[in-house]
């Protein structure tokens, strides 16, 4: 199975697919800190029940995804995870 097909297989099963996907990324307009924390919290609740959370996180870390909630972690949390893995 190719890498692309593997990615597609987990993405199709992701709990974040559909109209709720908007909570996983910042809006185009300014977002206050409390709004960001609330949005990220809602996204992380969706991730917590997702059957493909780990492949999603692995993918985001591997490609150094700079935006959004992936695998239950935001961009700062993924950077910290990556830094701890490298040390």
Residue 62 marked ligand-binding:
no
Please tell me what DSSP assigns to residue 16. Answer: T
The residue among 3, 18, 17, 21 whose CA lies nearest residue 58 is 3
Residue 27 marked ligand-binding:
no
Query: What is the spatial distance between Cα 24 and Cα 40, in angstroms, rounded to a whole number?
Result: 7
Residue 86 marked ligand-binding:
no
Contact 52, 66 (CB under 8 A): no
Residue 35 marked ligand-binding:
no
Q: Which residues are annotated as a binding site for [4Fe-4S] cluster?
A: 16, 47, 50, 56
Q: Which residues are annotated as a binding site?
A: 16, 47, 50, 56
């Amino acid at each position: 199975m190719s890498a692309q097909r593997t990615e597609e297989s987990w993405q199709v099963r992701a709990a974040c697919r559909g109209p709720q996907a908007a909570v996983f990324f910042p809006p185009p307009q300014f977002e206050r800190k409390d709004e960001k924390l609330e949005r990220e919290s809602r996204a992380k609740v969706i991730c917590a029940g997702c059957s493909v959370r780990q492949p999603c996180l692995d993918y985001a870390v591997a490609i150094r995804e700079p935006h959004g909630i992936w695998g239950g972690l935001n961009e700062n949390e993924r950077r910290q995870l990556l830094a701890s893995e490298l040390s």
